[in-house]
Amino acid sequence: MCELLGMSANVPTDIVFSFTGLMQRGGRTGPHRDGWGIGFYEGRGLRLFQDPQASSESEVAQLVQRYPIKSEVIIGHIRQANVGRVCLANTHPFVREMWGRNWCFAHNGQLADFAPSFSHYRPIGDTDSEAAFCDLLNRLRQAFPEPVSVEQLLPTLVEACAGYRQQGVFNCLLSDGDWLFSFCSSKLVHITRRAPFGPAHLKDADMQVDFQAQTTPNDVVTVIATEPLTANEHWTPFQQGEWRLWRGGECIAQGLTD
């Protein structure tokens, strides 16, 4: 299985601390050696870093850890390959343009015998994850030929994710840069940090940060991960079949599928 990392914040925030912890699981404290990637939204732009090398050994990952890019929406992923070769084309997160925005997607899980028919969006690599992403965008594009609000497309989005869940394990993160959607098929956790802020200690590296020294009283930052990244904070687990929509660090909609 792979691991996911997402962030939604109400102010541009760097994710170096959480990213550093996750990268250790790519070959040092965990088995996810088959590539990693992370996307940082900057308005409608998206900075995307990917490497099919193990994240714990990747010089590109070290660059990202030294370069504190600030963003309000971030999606990251470390891969343990089960479908598809280990190569750059199969490295998450995947990105496509729709309605004049960059849509970014990462998936943890495996879909059995997943072979949808494709129309506008087609996979570049050979993973079930990218196939699901393309199928999802094709469904949304067919249902809504013109751009609509995320609140309008939510029922279609949730229905599609619930269907993928019936075919295997489908934990995912999805964003167009304005909002962050999370869906839990088997395992996801989240934590929302707000004032009063305190110190946090990584589980996978000897690193501590005092968020009070780096934030203002108005900051709200939510981090989503497959497994808790810190040892001294309370992370809230998702229920299986639960979805949440985040904007500005706050959960603005949520629900539970069968």
How many of the other CB atoms lie within 10 Å of CB of 83? 17
Which of 2, 104, 134, 161 is an active site residue?
2
Best CA proximity match to 182, nearest among 150, 141, 219, 149: 150
Give the C-alpha distances (Å, rounded to integers) separating 141 from 151, 170, 173: 15, 21, 19
**Which token pair is 2?**
């792979």
Q: 22 and 76 in contact (C-beta within 8 Å)?
A: yes
Catalytic site includes residue 87: no
Q: 133 and 181 in contact (C-beta within 8 Å)?
A: no
How many of the other CB atoms lie within 10 Å of CB of 229? 27
- 163 Cβ contact partners less than 8 Å away, ≥ 6 residues apart: none
Residues with a known catalytic role: 2
